[in-house]
Structure 1
Amino acid sequence: MLRPLPAAFRPCALLILLVSILLLSGCSREAIYDAMMAHERKAAGLLDAQIEVGDRTIAYLHNEYPVDGPTLVLLHGFAANKENWLRLSRELTDHYNVYAIDLPGHGASDKDLDRDYSIGAQAGYVKAILDTLDLKRVHMVGNSMGGAITAQFAATYPDRVASATLLDPAGVMTYDSELVERVKAGDNPLIVEQPGDFEKLVDFALEQKPFVPWPIYSVMEDRALADRAIHHRIFEQIEKSGYDAAFRDHLASIRAPVLIVWGRDDRVINYRNADVFEERIPNARKVILEHVGHAPMIEVPEQTARLIRDFIQDQTDR
């Protein structure tokens, strides 16, 4: 129902040149990773930033150059981070003021093992973050866990959401998936426990894997290994939320228009659960993407961005 996914890169001469220069200069893997991330953020038109929300630090990305357009908030999935939105953001920052947030317990935001990471609690954290950023009414996009949080947020704070796009959202497990069967057997492919697990996770979550140059996976694996305790804590709490009938009941309270986008080859959450979201949300429509897995914004970013732009424009034209 949730998954960590890598930042995605497009193969290009400039990127290959950058990697070559960094290798020749004797940079460490972490330094190469940081430099390449900076390159990707620049290409997406985004800047890295942090804010204090209460007594906790929250990391996020935002437009380098604000535009005269709506605000779009992006919420990643379980054990993922704001960098998962870089490829998609390339297609959006010319039209929207984009905010990609590292949710509590993830990325560069504070990681507190004693915090409540249920879907309802996380929706409350998102409200506090948007309040601190002074974002009143937004279009929201969420993937996996972030999709469940987006739905919960839209149901709980209807005046704050102009539209919601749910990409392979968690929260409804009416139809089982390969992940469910593996977790029942004691094997959770979404949590990196030992070296080699990260690439297995990517193979499991993505049907269309993007070009990712060395040493991105190795650095991301190191970080995932360091965070496995918090990942176990979050997964345990969200797993309970995922089977909560109350969450499904909350969907009927969503007033904003909702677009549901799902990859047919999603092994994490069965795409047939899109029917449940569509049936329970009053103003919803769904799109099923062929040959796509659990992360459309990484696997088919141009197509996903076009769906989001057209959906938001449809609401504006009405």
Structure 2
Amino acid sequence: MTHSSEFRFLHEHAERVNRLAPLPKVERKSVLAPSGRRVSALVSNDPLARGTEPVVFLHGAGLNAHTFDATVLALEENTVSIDLPGHGRSDWRDDADYSPTTVAADVAATIASLTSGDVHLVGQSLGGLTAAALIPLLHSRLRTVTLIDITPGFDPARDATDVSHFISGKRVFASYDEMVDRAIAFGLGSDRAALTREIALNARERSDGRVEWSHHFAQLDGLDAAASGPEAQRPFEGLWQHLASLGARVTGVRGAAGLVTDQLQSEWRNRLPEAEMITLQGGHNVQEAVPAQLGFCIRKIVLA
């Protein structure tokens, strides 16, 4: 196991999801995409895996692959958790364009390098939109696609103002504790120990002793880069058709207090009548709020 310090919280995550079995083997992998940029990922081989196809996880804006650590342990399947471009240990883009359709090519190349055969794709927030953008590139290999607390009806200018302000409204902190305080104030969780673990793997100490986020979004003005597209009012409109092409193989998972409103859920049902929408407790970051329940939900989807 490489970079052992980044896996130091796995035993705590296992306790959180009541996993008593031995932990999976987790390794950090890096892929050089055709663009010349490197994409990093966590590859987990679980001794309890029953399915034959790996589950690929894509995180939301301002997070990284470790946000799914507890969910992966609860899932008990082989997984690949990718650091999206501009996040975690993946390279930043010079143009700072992290829209789903822009980063899809590098993510698809990473999936192709780290897996063989069919895969199950799970994406949360920006990762969910990226999963939808990947459908034309991976269509023949996709067993299922699951979107967590996001739909293509999402409008960043309307629906993500709090998330945007949290990510870029304050960029430098006196300590990790101050970052945790800010996360609690923005309603991103109430479990201080859990938030401390998440932030420890998503921030870095500067040479002056202060702390900053390690993702590129923290250096940008809001989430404009994620919202860019030809349709200013509905920037992700084209992703609906990608999801419709998979029919019943698509599932939505909504946080009861998340960003998918009743209106967005209604649009999902009208646009994707074959695709189920499941509601779990928690806010936008469902994978951090209820990782055991999310892991069980995904297990039912991939083993169906």
Query: Shared fold (TM-score greater than 0.5)?
Result: yes
Deviations 1:220-275 (A, max 9, x none): 44468354654427821222348323334444333461111111212x45354233
**Distance (whole Å) between structure 1 residues aligned to residue 197 and residue 222 of structure 2:** 27
Structure-1-length-normalised TM-score: 0.73
Q: Which AA in structure 1 matches 2:254?
A: W
SS state at 2:57 partner = strand
**Correspondence for 1:168 among 149, 152, 168:** 149
- Count of matched residue positions in the alignment of Structure 1 and Structure 2: 276
Give % identity: 23
For 2:86 and 2:155, the matched residues in 1 are separated by 27
Question: Match for 1:276 among 267, 278, 303?
Answer: 267
Report the equivalent of 1:201.
Answer: 183
The equivalent residue for 1:305 is 295
Q: Give the drift of 1:140.
A: 0.8
2:55, 2:122 within 8 Å by CA — same for their partners in 1?
yes
User: Which residue of 108, 119, 131 corresponds with 1:150?
Assistant: 131
Q: 1:86 aligns with which of 62, 69, 73?
A: 69
- 8 Å Cα contact 1:53/1:129 also seen in 2: yes
Give me the whole-angstrom Cα distance separating, in 2, the residues matched to 1:289 and 1:308: 12
**2:194 counterpart (206, 212, 215):** 212
**CA distance in structure 2 between the partners assigned to 1:255 and 1:237 by the alignment:** 29
Compared CA separation, residues 307 and 134, structure 1 to 2 (3 A): closer
The one of 41, 44, 54 equivalent to 1:63 is 44
The DSSP-based 3-state class of the residue aligned with 1:259 is strand
Q: Which residue of 2 aligns with 1:11?
A: none
Please say which of residues 124-133 and 42-51 is displaced more in the overlay.
42-51
**Is the 8 Å Cα contact of residues 189 and 195 (structure 2) preserved in structure 1?**
no
Q: 2:110 aligns with which of 120, 129, 143?
A: 129
Matches within 5 A, 1:31-50: 34=6, 36-37=8-9, 43=23, 45-50=25-30
Q: Deviations over 1:132-158 (max 9, x none)?
A: 224332111110101111122235532
Q: CA deviation at 1:288?
A: 1.6
Residue of structure 2 aligned with 1:225, choices 200, 206, 212: 212
- SS of 1:166's partner is strand
Give the Cα–Cα distance (whole angstroms) in 1 for the partners of residues 6 and 271 of structure 2: 43
Of 166-175 and 56-65, more deviation after overlay is shown by: 166-175
TM-score norm. by structure 2 comes to: 0.75
Letter in 2 for 1:48: R
Alpha-carbon deviations, 1:264-308, whole Å to 9, x = none? Answer: 212x45354233233223530011224x10112111111111111
